[in-house]
Structure 1
Amino acid sequence: MNQPNQTVLTEFILMGITDRPELQAAVFGLFLSIYVISVVGNLGMIILTKVDSRLQTPMYFFLRHLAVTDLGYSTTVGPKMLVNFIANQNTIPYNGCATQLAFFILFIISELFILSAMAYDRYMAICHPLLYMVVMSQKGRHKAFSTCGSHLTVVVVLYATLFFMYVQPKSSHSFDTDKIASVFYTLIIPMLNPMIYSLRNKEVKGALHRIWKNLHKLPM
């Protein structure tokens, strides 16, 4: 009995961001810069919230784990994307693609849960001051409200991008638009998150200032 022809899928061809060779170097430099800033920013946030005694609160516990997930899913995608810009053959093995997808889904789902937990923490800090000594005063309550601005910014940027990516009507669906949106939530958002939480947060800026002063006091 004749066996039907079967094609075994061993690898995928990656289309890339652009098919114009003259733009490859510029795009590589841009995304390399974005990835490096993302790694430095998230690693910095992880270390800062771990070593500074004034940042040992529930909010910064969640913020540290948010930085871990941002670092995780940007690293899942970023290095392979950078290699594709300089490689002659833009392919990825089937097993490698499945592994990359599994880790990406793990990190992105973890991020959604962490953002939800952070939102609940802010709700508790504002609406139930008896449970959080830090908001017993008017100053503490103002601090809790101020951190909500950063959190809402992060949530709106992430969910708006995902909504645009997966809920847009078929009539306006475009492969190029999908590529831009996917780059935004895989590389741009992990770069923006530590900036948003640090630039809008006096405690984080104060911790950075203290560490900088301590480094200058070290003997040369």
Structure 2
Amino acid sequence: MEKKTYKFNLQKAEKNTFEGYASTFDNVDLQGDTVVRGAFLNSLSNHVLVLYQHDEVIGKVVDMKEDDKGLFIKAQISDTELGRDVMTLIRDGVINRMSIGFNILDYDVTAEGRLLKGIELFEVSAVAFPANKEAVITGAKNYKEKKYRIYGGNLNNYLALFDDYFIENPIEKEAVIIETVKNQEQEEFYRDMQEMFDLTIEEVV
């Protein structure tokens, strides 16, 4: 199962429900994937659970539809202690990202990456970490692009935010990854990850 994280556009949050976009179309995310309109049509009648951080079940999707912008959902959160806590975070704007768990049914390969044409949706999660390009890039035109060397700490846990492969096939402790940072928002994101996962981040000169 793959995962993708988006900054969802919260339309309305009530006592135990919220509405917004769980996925957006036609933008290239940080993994080089683009979701196209029609990708979710086979999943619109699925029983889709709502999780917190891809871990604990907090509710279910009660309505979802595709429009020109993306996949619009309405979620009902159960009246549990965790459910109430998550709804408070959503209403306060602390949690404003939604990650989808899915399998790919159909895709094409383009120069930019994969073009996702068919998706089987299993779950959506309220999460804290962005992975979709639109969630972290806001167009800082004067930012000088950097490259970061990242290693040490809980590198596998960091990578697992973006790809289940690293959960089943952990990399060696001595491994080093190189990330390109294109704007201030991305730089702040990596600094947050550095603190959270005890990573060593060095600029590649």
Q: Which has the higher helix share?
A: 1
Rg comparison, structure with higher value: 1
Tell which has more relative contact order, 1 or 2 (C-alpha 8 A, sep 6+).
1
Answer yes or no: same fold by TM over 0.5: no
